[in-house]
Amino acid sequence: MKKKIAITGGTGFVGKELTNALLNRDTEVFILTRRPRPPETRVTYVPWLTEGAAPEKELEGIDAIINLSGSSINDGRWNEEQQKEIYRSRMTSTAEVLRIIQALEHKPKTLINASAIGVYAPSETITHTEHSQDFGTNFLAKTVHDWESLAEEAAAFGLRVAYGRFGIILGKNEGALPLMTLPYKLFAGGPVGSGNQWVSWVHVHDVARAIMFALDHEELKGPFNITAPDPKQMRDFGKEIAKALQRPYWIPVPPLALKLALGAKSQLVLEGQRVVPAVLERHGFRFMFPDLQSALADLYK
C-alpha cells in the first residue's frame, strides 16, 4: 500500500533531496508550504502558516510527518535578530505541526523532526553518541534542546517521535560546503583557527536515506545522529577539500577574522564536536558515503 508522507521544509536543501528519494520508492508526498504551487505527480503542495490555512483538511490519512522547517543557519552573519529568527522559526513550525496532529481525526504513526549536533558541547577530545549528556550552553545548543523538547510532545498523541541530529551537511551547491570551499577555489584555502576542531559531516544523499531508514524502523525513536562515521579535524577536512579541488592548502585563517566576519556564527567553524552515528549503525544502516574522500569525489566528480 502506497504510504502518504507530509514534509515541512520540503522545498529546502534537505527537503528536495528527501522528496526525490521518497518519490523514487512510490510514496505520495504532501509538502507544507507558504507559497501556493500547482500539484505535481504524487506531490501535493499544502498551504500552511498563512492566514486562513487549514492543512489538516488535506492531511487525513497520512502515515508520518517529517518536520524540516526552520530558518537556515547558513545564511549571512549571525546577529541578534537572525538568532531570534532561527529560534522562532523552529518553535513556530513545530508548534503548528503539533496543532495539525491534534486536529487530525486519524493520527499519523510517526513524527521525524530535524535537529542538530549543535546540542552537544564542543570538545577536541570527547566522542559524542546519542547517549552523551554533555550538552552545550551556547545559542545553538539551547535552540536544539528546546526544539527537540517541543517535538517530543507529539508522543502524547500516540506518535513515535524521532529526531535526526544533522551534522554538517555536504552538497555541491547548497548547505555549508560552498562557503567552505570558496577560499580554495580562490587559491586561498588553508588552516582555519587551530585546525584541531572536529567537523562531523554527512553527504546530503545519506541524510535523506537516514530519514527514510528512520521512517521504516519503528523501533527507532528519540535522538539519532545523522553524521558519517568518519569525522575529521578541520585541518584534515581542509586538506581533503584542497585535494578534491586540486588547489593549494596554505593560507591560515585566524579566529579573529572569522569572528569579525561571521559574528556568533563563527562558533560553527571554530568549535566542533566529534559525533558518531551509533544508533543508525546499531540498527544496520549503511552509509553510501562513509568517508570524506568518497563524498567529495561524488560532489566534485
| Residue 163 φ then ψ, to 5° | -130, 120
Q: Is residue 212's pLDDT more than 70?
A: yes
- For residue 283, the tally of other CB atoms under 10 A from its CB is 15
Q: What is the pLDDT of residues 215-251, one digit of tens each?
A: 999 999 999 999 999 999 999 999 999 999 999 998 8
Residue 264 has pLDDT above 80, yes or no: no
Using CA atoms, how far apart are residues 55 and 48, in angstroms rounded to an integer? 6
Q: What is the pLDDT of residue 81?
A: 85
More confident residue, 2 or 261: 2
pLDDT of residue 211: 98
Superfamily of domain 4-299: NAD(P)-binding Rossmann-like Domain (3.40.50.720)
Q: At residue 137, does pLDDT exceed 70? A: yes
Averaged pLDDT, 285-294 = 98
The Cα 62–Cα 58 span in angstroms is: 9
d(CA 238, CA 191): 7
What tens digit of pLDDT does each residue of 34-54 get? Answer: 987 777 778 999 999 999 999
Residue 45, strand partner residues = 31
Give the dihedral sign, CA 128/134/140/145: positive
Distance CA 193, CA 300 (A): 25
Tell me the CA distances in angstroms from 22 to 25, 107, 152, 179, one per residue in order: 5, 21, 24, 28
Predicted pLDDT of residue 22: 96
